[in-house]
Amino acid sequence: MPPRAVVAGILALALGWGGYLIWLARTDPRVVFLPSEPCGEWIVADEPVLLGSRHPGFYMTHFRAPVPAGPARDAVLVLRALRIAEVFLDGRSVFASPRDVNVWKQERRVPLRLEPGAHELVFTVVNENGPPALLACAPGLGLSTGPGWEFRRARDTAWSPARVAGPRHADLSRRFPRADEALVALWPWLLGVLLAVGALTVLVERSGRRFPVSPSAFRWLLVGAWVVLAANNIEKLPLYVGFDVSAHLQYIRYLVEHWRVPLATEGWQMFQPPLYHALSALLVWLPARPLLGEDAAVPLLRLVPLACGVAQVELAYRAVRHVFPEHPDLQRLGTLLGALLPINLYASQYLGNEPLTGVLVGGAIVVMLGWLRAPETALAVRSQVLVGGLLGLGLLAKPTAVLVVGPALLVLALAHARAGRPPGAFLRAGARVAAVLVAIAGWYYVRNWILLGTPFVGGWDPSRGIEWWQEPGYRVPAHLVSFGEALRYPIFGGVAGLWDAEYSTLWLDGWLSAVMEYDYRPPWNYALMLPAPWLAFAPGGAMLAGIATAPWRPGPSRRGVVLAAGLVAVYLVATLSLYLQVPLYAAAKATQLLGLTPCFAVLGAAGYEVLGRSAALRPLLYGATGCWALCAYLAYFVR
């Protein structure tokens, strides 16, 4: 199957999944999507963005709009409400929606009879575990929800202007300098780095000699830089920095005290598979705690994620070596990008299962790239067992590893076809991969199915008995298509929408590692971190160029680049699905893409090859990349 056919297949699947999501958003009451309507605009109470979790319950908001004076007339009021509504005309109830919260997407039409004079329409809207929202219009009365409407909570005494439901910003983000201002503040230093790297590029090319540092040695230099960063930060970084750190620590304690895997209903993070927590308990907690005491042992729990961060350097190097075996310059650039990708730099410094999942999934991807380079390697039983084992362990670290299982079997099939093996050989090979995967991870998901009724229980699932919700509590089309906040105020800029969330957490610690108070922010070097959205144009542009040109690349590198682009597409579609169905602002974070670090390295290297064909552009491109790399590394070096 040629790479272009693979790309066409991936696009067809993406479009099919997109169509399914649109249908789901329109019809499924569990998907809180507020679509654009010609009738009016959805409105909600205008209140500050609260970044923390909210307690479950019912929330009530009153909305009102004056009806201009006029003669006696009849009108039809069209409305939708999230989720239950009652309409009052001059204090008299004229409509009450069914008390079933699962029928809120149905349009309601209410006939109105107005006597001569002015009138007032008041809508009482109640929502469960989310903000009440209203969309209404009465064309005969010249009324439609939007600017000019007012709201009042049950506890309020006065009416206040309502706002149109849509992207917002967190007040905390405005306490940091703008990203462009931070970039300008560094311009003398950045200009020096740009000129130095650009001049070195020109000198090496004109000398006709190879760059003095081989890709392998360059890899070890980056590993050394990572080790220095880890040694410096392991005790300096406050223990509270990181997503749900205390809950992960509780999980580890639970394993040590009870010697069994908890159920999803037994704690905040107990829905996670156990591999990361078990490794941390066995390798660090049990040996160190009796000797050092609990307080001294806790920082050592960072050893596992830090080791995973260092391992990503090796995976990035091996990935680009598979795809570009004859291009040492591209190997160095791809390794640099993968090693200093900010999601790896900051997420690998605190407790959590994302780094371990990323290494296991990334390891499987590197083996798959090897299959594409040398199809005969896919015929070896050892290689098949290795991929099944890595993905099985990945599923025991985090369920997102399942996204790579299908592509792994597809690459295995392509490798067997290129090697001229019959279909039966692939079926046996695929069965080996699946058997190893199931043998390693199947018990956990079967156990969940038996005891909880489902193989996987998400952290937001009410069946856990731990209910909560978070801003915004709904989605609108602008959340899915807008972008720009991350280029201005990237800290919590992801509150504005999906792409701002992904961009601001891919290229810097946009969620502040889950710290929601300015005075307790992580001790990063913000003068170097905040310009990242602009400095990332060089490596990010290279990655986009690699994706855009993947199907038309000449030579054998095309297969690896297509696979990398396809896996990024798979993860982004899955992220979009989660973002749409779980209306929490933090549902989108690029740390979920850590397993794609080898893919980013490959795509970046491919893009540098395309963009670097211009001798005039190459020094500028490499110089800009040097600016990004130095800032990315030093930004997370705690002083």
Return the domain boundaries, the chain. 43-165, 176-635
Closest to 215 in 3D by CA, of 64, 68, 316, 108: 316
pLDDT at 595: 96
What distance in Å separates the CA atoms of residue 175 and residue 601, rounded to the nearest whole number? 34
Phi, psi of 296 (to 5 degrees): -75, -25
DSSP state letter for 381:
H
User: Structure pTM?
Assistant: 0.93
What distance in Å separates the CA atoms of residue 291 and residue 491, rounded to the nearest whole number? 40
Strands 143-144 and 108-114: unpaired
pLDDT at 18: 75
- Given a contact cutoff of 8 angstroms between Cβ atoms, the answer to whether 35 and 140 are in contact is no
Order the strands of the 160-161 sheet from edge to edge. Answer: 92-96, 84-89, 117-128, 58-70, 150-153, 160-161
pLDDT at 411: 92
What amino acid is encoded at 300 in this protein? L
How open is the CA angle 85-89-90, to the nearest 5 degrees?
Answer: 130
pLDDT at 394: 97
Read off the tokens for 483: 């972008």
Closest to 475 in 3D by CA, of 32, 158, 22, 12: 32
Distance of alpha carbon 70 from its chain centroid, rounded? 53
Residue with tokens 């008995």: 465
Residue with tokens 């038309």: 552
- Given a contact cutoff of 8 angstroms between Cβ atoms, the answer to whether 619 and 388 are in contact is no
> What region does 57 belong to: left with phi over 0, alpha with psi -120 to 50, or beta?
left
Contacts of residue 47, Cβ cutoff 8 Å, sequence gap at least 6 = none
Length of the chain: 639
- pLDDT by 10-residue block (mean), the chain, 639 residues: 59 74 85 90 93 88 87 88 93 90 88 87 93 92 90 87 93 96 95 93 81 91 96 92 92 91 89 94 85 79 94 97 94 96 96 96 97 92 96 96 94 89 90 96 94 85 78 93 95 95 97 94 96 97 94 87 93 91 91 96 96 89 96 95
pLDDT at 387: 97
Q: What is the CATH number of domain 43-165?
A: 2.60.120.260
